[in-house]
Amino acid sequence: MSSTETPDLKKHLAQLLAEALGVVAPEMAAATIELERPKQAQHGDYACNLAMQLAKPLRRSPREIAQALLESLPASRYVARTQIAGAGFINFFLDPSVKRQTVKRILREGDDHGRSTLGQGRKVQVEFVSANPTGPLHVGHGRGAAFGASLANVLEAAGYAVAREYYVNDAGRQMDILALSTWLRYLELNGIDLPFPPNAYQGAYVRAMAREIHEAHGDRYVHPALAVLHQMPSAEAEPEAHLDALIANAKRLLAQDYWYLHDLVLTEQLGDCRHDLLEFGVTFDAWFSEKSLADNGLIERALGLLEQRGHLYQQNGALWFRSTRFGDEKDRVVRRENGAYTYFAADIAYHLNKYERGFDRIINVWGADHHGYVARVKGALDALGLDPDRLTVSLVQFAVLYRGGKKLSMSTRSGEFVTLRELRREVGNDAARFFYVLRKSDQHLDFDLDLAKSQSTDNPVYYIQYAHARICSVLEQWGGDPARLPEADIGALTGAHETALLERLQEYPEVTENAARELSPHLVAYYLKDLAGDLHSYYNAEHFLVPEERLRLARLALIRATQQVLRNGLSLLGVSCPEKM
């Protein structure tokens, strides 16, 4: 390491403490040493509770242990002083020159600043969105998309090899309902008068697909109303059975043409979903077909493995998984009496396939309504002899929209819902991406449309982008060569606002690592708000283009480093960095 480079200070301090511990209590050398940034500046730059951890096993007071550790602490040119606080916390105060070196490090690393080797190249799969392709993506899907994409970016920045995947539910009842809904609307266009089931898909997009089929194929798929309604249960008394009977009749009457219609509506809706997500800045490395699990024999194989291990049994003509052995409240059907596999059977096969693809860690981003499903899937993995701890499920709560202080309602089948596309058109991609990740994923999110559109400091994304634009404006007014800034004499930065900004910049690599460890991209969003606040305070308090060249270049180097960190952080969240606002 050259004399101009600063080590990873957190690791450096931990190493100093480890060496001191080897002197004070060598028998406790394996103790975990954790350092955190204190919430209050008077408590230093880092704090450690090691002495408090050791009090019980060493049978000594924490403050006495802390004192002994500090007396044995090796000298470091990066530490200005230490302090024992409270019950026995050890606080570290860094040398001011260390903080100033942060600017040079940021300018040197550029777009790579904040990236780390935490993941050591381990393979991680992040599966997210995975919405049924039965209609346009709605605002609930949007939150899962923004969270999943940002999480994948954060993990990649932390040194993981990330694979982004969308699980396409292209088999099963929901796709049948969509195909039926479209066919019934097509029959309407051909003068076949039928009652449209209220539990079928109602949206305008269904009528649009029916019109396309009618324009392309005329009356090719027309069948009389009596045949369509043959042997129907009551729609009022048995609405779901009525729907299933309509699907069965459609398959019988249309024969192979049914699968043409099924695949047509699937392709139409999946294409719309892909395009919507692409416009939202969300891309995937793989789109995995649920249908392929049955077609390729993967479901049959997974169930065969469970049967070999004694975890399946027959009852009432159905095949059951003994999920109560693995903590579930009841056993689960994997193959119905009619021979059809359940969704759960497909999920078992899909997760077995994920494990066999060699991922070190698998992260599923699911809606919060799937919370009860987590233990069931992990139980199946355990039953297959796989390590269930390799699977992590991040639950995403629903996003509730407000306009003018009033809550907006939505329902997928009725078509009365706000689509992701409509939201993006109203507030813009940047506001949508940022607002979606502004809360921890498992917390409810109230999305204020009016705030997201406002150009005020109350709007967090505007506030952050405005900080970036302000820096661009100053650098443009300066008109000098940015290549000079890494060589600026940072020792000129001694003011309170400058110190605050330097300390904030120093935190960024830790923030990105913590966001990766905790699967919490909202930590990056919080940090960017704080960084923007420090920049605005500095901007309002000081002039940057001062006559004295040494101070001018130092201040410009500081705000240029701030600009870089704003860019890097916003890119992780999929938010743009406008140069003018």
Per-residue pLDDT tens for 308-330?
999 999 999 999 999 999 999 99
Give CA–CA dist 359/490, Å, rounded.
45
Cα end-to-end span (Å), the chain: 41
**From-to residues of CATH 1.10.730.10 in the chain:** 457-572
Q: Is the pLDDT of residue 183 over 80?
A: yes
Taking only the tens place, the pLDDT of each residue in 347-403 is 999 999 999 999 999 999 999 999 989 999 999 999 999 999 999 999 999 888 998
The strand pairing partners of 400, in sequence order, are: 446
Higher pLDDT, 409 or 435: 435
d(CA 385, CA 299): 17
Convert 467-488 to b/e letters by CB count within 10 Å (16 or more is b). bbbbbbebbeebeeeeeebbeb
* Cα 10–Cα 62–Cα 81 angle in degrees, nearest 5: 45
pLDDT in tens, 510-557: 999 999 999 999 999 999 999 999 999 999 999 999 999 999 999 999
**Secondary structure of residue 20 in the 3-state scheme:** helix
Predicted TM-score of the model (pTM): 0.89
Which backbone phi and psi does 208 adopt, to 5 degrees?
A: -65, -40
Where does the chain hold its CATH 3.30.1360.70 domain(s)?
9-94
Q: Does domain 457-572 match CATH 1.10.730.10?
A: yes
Tell me the residue ranges of DSSP E strands in 241-389: 286-289, 312-315, 318-321, 332-335, 361-367
The hierarchical CATH code for the domain 9-94 is 3.30.1360.70
